């Protein structure tokens, strides 16, 4: 309909039909733009995955939300192949509240005793150093990000989060996460 109105307005200048078409173009364009915005929001919301599970020890419910990075990297042998990073938010009856950054393969460089820092940029704010710690099992694919409540509050209102972390023999690539579709009610539904 929009294309047809534009065609009439440009093909028949000075006519009554062209004048009518030119008057309705802004209203049609506004509806098209609004529909496109709704579609973009729905697509962002679909990027998050939500899960809940009962903790076997405590009998209480735990909640998790995660999404994969928009971009991917390619590591060298023995971790070769394209891979994305994952950003995870977890509320666990046993372990508490965590925000985690992980890769599929490779080694995130972070001392098990002193921890490390990663660069985090939220939307257009300047990048910030964020404290991180590896998991207690000493695996190298995951980091627990410090100040998790502050980071969580920032994620809830953000559109994009960029995380840069050091990876063994890969430098410090930046992973981009479209966090705009996060829905707190799906992460931790009210009982």
Section 11-22 average pLDDT: 76
Q: What is the DSSP string of 33-74?
A: HHHHHHHHHHHHHHH-EEEEEE-TTT--EEEEEEEE-SS-EE
State residue 112's pLDDT score: 86
State residue 113's pLDDT score: 87
State residue 2's pLDDT score: 67
For the record, the structure tokens of 33 come out as: 């733009």
- Judged against a pLDDT cut of 70, whether residue 77 lies above it is answered with yes
Section 90-101 average pLDDT: 96
CA atoms of 106 and 80, how far apart (whole Å): 9
Section 115-142 average pLDDT: 96
- Judged against a pLDDT cut of 60, whether residue 38 lies above it is answered with no
CA atoms of 74 and 82, how far apart (whole Å): 5
| Cα Rg, the chain, nearest whole Å | 23
State residue 46's pLDDT score: 62
State residue 42's pLDDT score: 47
Q: pTM here?
A: 0.76
Instruction: Report the candidate in 132, 154, 135, 163 with the shortest Cα–Cα distance to residue 145.
Output: 132
32-38 contact pairs (CB < 8 A, 24+): 32/2
For the record, the structure tokens of 103 come out as: 């890769």
Other beta carbons less than 10 A from residue 23's beta carbon: 11
The count of C-alpha atoms lying within 13 angstroms of the C-alpha of 152, restricted to the half-sphere facing its C-beta, is 20
For the record, the structure tokens of 67 come out as: 């999404």
- Judged against a pLDDT cut of 90, whether residue 110 lies above it is answered with yes
């Amino acid at each position: 309909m929009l294309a047809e109105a534009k065609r009439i307005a440009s093909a028949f200048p000075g006519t009554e039909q062209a004048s009518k078409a030119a008057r309705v173009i802004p209203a049609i364009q506004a509806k098209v733009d609004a529909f496109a915005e709704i579609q973009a929001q729905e697509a962002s919301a679909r990027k998050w995955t939500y899960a809940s599970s009962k903790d076997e020890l405590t009998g209480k419910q735990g909640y998790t939300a995660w999404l994969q990075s928009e971009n991917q990297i390619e590591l060298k042998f023995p971790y070769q192949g394209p891979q994305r990073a994952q950003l995870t938010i977890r509320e666990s009856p046993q372990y508490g509240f965590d925000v985690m950054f992980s890769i599929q393969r490779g080694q995130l460089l972070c001392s098990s005793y002193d921890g490390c820092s990663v660069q985090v940029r939220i939307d257009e704010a300047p990048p910030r150093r964020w404290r991180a710690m590896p998991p207690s099992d000493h695996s190298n694919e995951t980091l627990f990000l410090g100040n998790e409540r502050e980071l969580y509050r920032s994620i809830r209102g953000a559109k994009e989060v960029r995380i840069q972390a050091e990876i063994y023999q890969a430098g410090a690539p930046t992973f981009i996460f479209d966090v705009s579709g996060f829905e707190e009610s799906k992460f931790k539904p009210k009982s």
